[in-house]
Structure 1
Amino acid sequence: MTYISIGLRRYVEERASHCCEYCLQPADLSFFPHEVDHIVAVKHRGTTDADNLAFACWRCNRYKGTDLGSFDPQTGAFSFLFNPRTQQWSFHFALEDARIVGLTPEGRTTANLLQFNSEERLAERRRASSSS
């Protein structure tokens, strides 16, 4: 396991406004604590610095693992995953009611691999939106 200083963890969390940078789940609504994710895993020569770290809910972090990409469910072609450091969320995704819809190959691939629209995650988003 790679050491990430408390200051760097705090910076990553605050930069993300305390929300998962993949699915936008607020940390204060999550049963398990959010985590700092290496966007490019250390095993793929990713660095432990602010430019390669994202704040992620435990589900997104587990589903992503060390993956860099997968196959676009619409085209079947390989696509890299969404990178919250270099890409804008609203360009790659849209929120339609409780569903997160991928708009690009990266968006569709990420939404599929990270299982953004599983029944459990949809129910969480519905509960969150009804309490706001």
Structure 2
Amino acid sequence: MTPTLERRVRRRARGRCEYCRLPRFASEFTFPIDHIIARQHGGATEADNLAQSCPHCNAHKGPNIAGLDPSTGEFTRLYHPRIHRWREHFAWTGAVLKGRTPIGRTTIEVLAINDPDMVAAREALIEEGRFPGR
């Protein structure tokens, strides 16, 4: 990945994880650039297949491109930040992210977005008025 491409992806993400919306400033770790469709599945290293993710989402997503919808058990693709509109698939209830669609529910489940530690981090940010993902 070229430095120019990395800057483009980071700028487009506006300083937050493109999956859970955690702001970059809330982590002591660098936010990795995720291949939305992993290279092992034929995903290219190009802007339309890259997303900035927080370390938590990145570690849980790995090369996954789908999972099982926890409500229906149906095999469902994960949220794709370049194709899908975030607000169609997700909604906040306080610091807890809710899935509005099978894609949203599945993504939340696979990426463990509502892990208790992540919810606690978002609650603290909300209390400080510093959670821009809302």
Q: TM-score range by the shorter chain?
A: over 0.9
Residue number in structure 2 paired with 1:8:
5
Residue number in structure 2 paired with 1:109:
106
Give 3-state SS (helix, strand or coil) of 1:116's partner: coil
The alpha carbon displacement at 1:85 in A equals 0.4
Aligned residues: 129
1:33 and 2:19 equivalent? Answer: no
1:8-38 Cα offsets, whole Å, 9 max, x none, are 1111011010100000000011121111000
Give 3-state SS (helix, strand or coil) of 1:25's partner: coil
Within 5 A, what are the aligned runs for 1:71-82?
71-82=68-79
| Gapped regions of structure 2 (runs ≥ 5) | 130-134
* Larger RCO, structure (CA 8 Å, separation 6 or more): 2
* Distance in 2 of aligned mates of 1:114 and 1:31: 20
Give the counterpart letter for 2:96 in structure 1: R
Q: TM-score, normalised by structure 2?
A: 0.94
* Distance in 1 of aligned mates of 2:36 and 2:60: 13
Give the counterpart letter for 2:29 in structure 1: F
Residue number in structure 2 paired with 1:94:
91
**Regions of 4+ moved over 6 Å:** none
Residue number in structure 2 paired with 1:84:
81
Q: Let me know the Cα RMSD of the aligned residues.
A: 0.6
Q: TM-score, normalised by structure 1?
A: 0.96
* Distance in 2 of aligned mates of 1:90 and 1:30: 24
Give the counterpart letter for 1:79 in structure 2: T
Give 3-state SS (helix, strand or coil) of 1:111's partner: helix
In the alignment, which of 52, 55, 67 is matched to residue 55 of structure 1?
52
Residue number in structure 2 paired with 1:131:
128
1:30-66 Cα offsets, whole Å, 9 max, x none, are 1211110000000101000000000000110110000
Give 3-state SS (helix, strand or coil) of 1:100's partner: strand
1:74-130 Cα offsets, whole Å, 9 max, x none, are 000000000000001000000110000011011000001111111100000011111
Give the counterpart letter for 1:85 in structure 2: R
* Distance in 1 of aligned mates of 2:37 and 2:83: 12
Give the counterpart letter for 1:93 in structure 2: F
